[in-house]
Structure 1
Amino acid sequence: MHSTKDHTRPFPAGPRPTGPKLLDRLLLPGAVALAAVLALAGCTSSGKSSSSTASSAGASAAPSVSNSLQDDYQRVITQVLPSVVQITTASGLGSGIIYDDKGDIVTNAHVVGTATTFQVSLANSTNLLDASLVGSYPDSDLAVIKLSSPPGGLKPAVFGDSGKVEVGQITLAMGSPLGLSSSVTQGIVSATGRTVTEPKSADSPGATIGNMVQTSAAINPGNSGGALVNLSSQVIGINTLAAVDQETNGSAAPGIGFAIPSATITNIADQLIKDGKVTNSGRAGLGITARTFYGSDYKPAGVLIVSTTAGGPAASAGLQAGDVITKIGDTPITTINSLTTALASLTPGSKVTVTYVRSGQTKTADVTLGTLGA
């Protein structure tokens, strides 16, 4: 579903499948042909009508509405953009958000990759500041780095309640797309509650992330780790993925991007800052170790439970090693990935019916989901 490219072209009539691709860190100079990926276009609407009979009321009303929204945009940008930074590693760059006045910065795990040291550019400075890794949690594609010598005047971002995000709300995406630091694009919240599986790469294990915010705001390589902001100057997500059309060799599907919600960001970041690791992911878990099960035709046919955690959700519901899970609720389960995706859309503490096969017989169990640990 998700990509880093912006080579768009019209799609033929009818639906097309899309596939996931990370908003990878922008490669350093020489690796990206900017002429092929950059396009600059004006978006203002300041032209006047040539008609001498135009209504004076209409002429005055349009600029009033336009200027009000423009003022809102500029206010938000002034308040939030100083909280968005550019992060550079030995192999690429991405974006980050100042989390507190102690120099902690939250970003995507795939931005930091395997690096442990970084250089950071603040929005209001040309100086490069040294930073080091605090902790990374690839399962939720989040990480925290910290400035070695935090300067005075850092402006931490304000994180909003992503549970209150609604479709149609205006959003601004801030970051360093294509290395263009302190860039801003605008759109709306297109959907909420999306479950997205990232592609595997050298810097990502292919995390499945639930409850993501979908936006039409343009996001491009280098935007990863940047801020998705509402008109109350609150960060509601971290820009992470953009959609691609698999039938057009990975061409970007315009206006389809995804951001990790602020509730997940603050939960993971607080734990990484305090303990350097995550013990409560906020993600639903069954309390099992498992692998994909292959049927007699050698095709994936479910998830085989290898072991259960004593007293965990699966064990408490009567599931045991050797059982093959085939459904979570009404969702068919054929592989580990499909199980992970199904669980990512659920919450700890919720009850779900698990369908499984034991000794050739199909059975069901009502499982109260637990929390997936680190």
Structure 2
Amino acid sequence: MDVSRAPARARARTPRLLLPLTASVCAAALAGGCSSGGAATAPERSTQAAAPLSSNQLQDDYQAVIRNVLPSVVQIDASASLGSGVVYDDKGHVVTNAHVIGQEKTFKVAAATGGQAVTARLVSSYPEQDLAVIKLESLPQGLKAAKFGDSSGVDMGQIVLAMGSPLGLSGSVTQGIVSATGRTVSEGQTGGGTGATIANMVQTSAAINPGNSGGALVNLDSQVIGIPTLAATDPELGGGSAPGIGFAIPASMVRTIADQIIKDGKVTDSGRAALNITGRTVLDDNYNPAGVAVVEAPADGAAGKAGLKPGDVITRLGDTDITTITSLAEALASMNPGDKVTTTYVRGTKTQKTEITLGEM
């Protein structure tokens, strides 16, 4: 999936994706009720009476989730950008997107529920997964750690709320459903994007606008199931947004990365497969992407051990055709370190194959 800072690709056409950093404000309204003209039978009246009760119950559920989770959401001012974060523990650690904090080391952080901003400092950033952890110098009163849910239990059709600070509107909440799971998305590097390829993302119809990045995607059990990161744009609409297509990093990956950063100050085990090469996209005679040229392949890396050398052009990985660096990253995102994969490459004028035991990013 090709993403230029937010997610999505349709089968017939490929929208580019932009990371939400600055954009227009979006609001979601909830309404419920039922009306009918003319006479009604007793069963019909019973159905009409039940509908508002159901609607009121859903509204109560929404409001309960907001009361439970909003005190765990913060606004992060990184001077060059504005985004959101989620309080990870009672020690003041906050998890957010790497693209929100950029290259800065100190930040002003304010609770979504209001109050004085406090200073936070960078613990570590992991751009490869677009995640980062910062730590508050003091924990504002009323702020509390969020509860993270089980990503394996996330399924299509679940109602979710997205909480954050779109355009600096602190404490904003939008509503939608889980549209899909298991998406692999590649974000661009323009406009502050990290260029990361992220697997197993949660797709949602809840509005995710610039400033929502790093916030909370929450289920009706008041559990954070993902960190909103990307919103889709469609080049056929002049780069305008593609409403209802947003992506969040799953809670399981957030916990994996955040726990390592908090414990060791860095990511020590990414769990992500790699060829351990430096490569670049090459074009054919018609200027179409035609593969990934190996620029460097250290002898102790996965590709180097399998015999690949600088100048080789990778054209296929397993059953997937490789035309660009992005397509190679997306293919690797669905694999694990230690997997064995047949790789097709061109050396000079000869096409060859070799089996590579994948390394780790």
Structures share fold, TM-score greater than 0.5: yes
Post-superposition offset of 1:156:
0.8
Residue 245 of structure 1, CA deviation: 1.6
* Mapping for residues 259-298 of structure 1, pairs under 5 Å: 259-294=248-283
Count the aligned residue pairs: 354
Query: Which piece of structure 1 moves more, 256-265 or 66-75?
Result: 66-75
Is 1:222 aligned with 2:211?
A: yes
Question: 2:221 aligns to what?
Answer: 232
The residue aligned with 1:29 is none
Asked if the contact 2:33–2:51 (Cα under 8 Å) also holds between the matched residues in 1, the reply is: no
Give 3-state SS (helix, strand or coil) of 2:280's partner: strand
Paired position in structure 2 for 1:209: 198
Q: Is the counterpart of residue 193 in structure 1 residue 168 in structure 2? A: no
Q: CA deviation at 1:3?
A: 8.0
Comparing 349-358 and 162-171, the one that deviates more = 349-358
The CA deviation string for residues 224-250 of structure 1, in whole angstroms up to 9 with x for no partner, is: 111111122211111111111211212
In the alignment, structure 1 segments of 5+ residues that lack a partner are: 6-13, 27-31
RMSD: 2.6
Distance 1:214 1:367 in 2: 32
Give the SS at the match of 1:77: helix
Label 1:300 to 1:125 Cα distance change in 2 as closer, same or farther (>3 A): closer
Return the alpha-carbon distance in structure 1 between the equivalents of residues 114 and 240 of structure 2: 35
User: Counterpart in 1 of 2:320?
Assistant: 331
Alpha-carbon distance in 2 for matches of 1:53, 1:205? 59
Q: TM-score scaled to structure 2, two decimals?
A: 0.88
Whole-angstrom CA distance in 2 between matches of 1:349 and 1:259: 27
- Deviation larger for 70-79 or 81-90: 70-79
Return the alpha-carbon distance in structure 2 between the equivalents of residues 256 and 154 of structure 1.
Answer: 30
2:72 matched to 1:75? no
TM-score, with structure 1 as normaliser? 0.85
What amino acid is aligned across from residue 21 of structure 1 in structure 2? L
The 1:293–1:58 alpha-carbon spacing in structure 2 relative to 1, beyond 3 Å, is: closer
Query: Equivalent residue for 2:170?
Result: 181
SS at 1:355's partner residue? strand
The amino acid of 1:99's aligned partner reads: Y
Distance in 1, Cα, partners of 2:202 & 2:29 = 27
- Using the alignment, how far apart are the partners of 1:38 and 1:174 within structure 2? 13
Counterpart residue number, 1:131: 120
Match of 1:18 among 15, 36, 42: 15
Match of 1:247 among 219, 224, 236: 236
> Which one-letter code corresponds to 2:168 in the other structure?
G
Q: What is the CA-CA distance between 1:191 and the residue it aligns to?
A: 1.1
Distance 1:359 1:342, change over 3 A: same
Q: Do the aligned partners of 2:18 and 2:188 also contact (CA within 8 Å) in 1? A: yes
Give the share of equivalent positions with the same residue, in percent: 59
Map Cα deviations across residues 168-191 of structure 1 (whole Å, 9 max, x no partner). 121111111122211111111111
* Aligned residue identity for 1:18: P
Structure 2: which amino acid aligns with 1:243? A
Worse overlay, 219-228 or 288-297: 288-297
The answer (yes or no) to whether the contact 2:98–2:194 under 8 Å persists in 1 is: no
Aligned partner of 2:344 among 344, 355, 371: 355
Helix, strand or coil for the counterpart of 2:269? coil
CA offset at residue 98 of structure 1?
0.2
Q: Secondary structure at the match of 1:272?
A: helix
Is it true that 1:364 corresponds to 2:353 in the alignment? yes
Q: Is 335-344 or 96-105 further displaced after alignment?
A: 335-344
Question: How far apart are the structure 1 equivalents of 2:5 and 2:282?
Answer: 33
Q: Quote the offset at 1:101 in angstroms.
A: 0.7
Contact in 2 for aligned 1:101/1:156 (Cα 8 Å): yes
Does the Cα contact within 8 Å between 2:215 and 2:227 map onto a contact in 1?
yes
Offset of residue 357 of structure 1: 2.2
